[in-house]
Amino acid sequence: MSFTPDIQAFCCHYTSQQTIAEGREGLKQDGMPDNITINRLVCTGKLQVSTLLKAFEEGADGVYVVGCPADKCHNIKGSQRAAKRVGAIKKALAELDIEPERIEMFHLERGFHPEFIESALLMNKRITELGPCPLKGEKK
């Protein structure tokens, strides 16, 4: 059975500049999978644990956050805070016996770069292999 995961990406304003400049179609040409929804934020440090959990509640099979390199965040420690929160969710997912790899943090340079697409492809491959999130109550 073919499975197309629902993946929610949360990116800060700076690391998602590529999405603004290229638009949906441009990104698609670069190889960005269609099933990834990009949620732009002023800073990943603004992300709350509950926002990321809500994404799973609303049916996401995988969630990832893209923020600035740890030492280059425009807001000093924003992406470090986000990484800590992603870590807390990994722990909670493991407690619920859900694969913690369903959520990930990436630290990427701002602007245009192939790594932005690579992180999307990596998550798409990983979550496709994991199958539907068991939180949906569906069979794998």
Stretch that binds other proteins, among 7-15, 64-72, 88-96, 113-121 (CB under 8 A): 88-96
Selected binder of other proteins within 14, 27, 43, 56 (CB under 8 A): 56
DSSP per residue over 23-78, as a string?
A: HHHHHHHHT--TTEEEEEES-GGG--HHHHHHHHHTT-SEEEEEE--TT-BTTBSH
**Please, which residues bridge with residue 41 across strands?**
12
Stretch that binds other proteins, among 12-20, 37-45, 54-62, 115-123 (CB under 8 A): 54-62
Stretch that binds other proteins, among 18-26, 30-38, 117-125, 131-139 (CB under 8 A): 131-139
Shortest CB 54 distance to other proteins, Å = 6
By the rule CB under 8 A, 92 interacts with other proteins:
yes
Nearer to other proteins, 125 or 136 (CB): 136
Instruction: Output DSSP code: residue 137.
Output: T
Residue 131 to residue 103: CA distance in whole angstroms: 14
By the rule CB under 8 A, 130 interacts with other proteins:
no
Closest Cα to residue 12, out of 66, 48, 62, 55?
66
Binding residues for other proteins (CB under 8 A): 48-50, 53-54, 56-57, 92, 95-98, 134-137
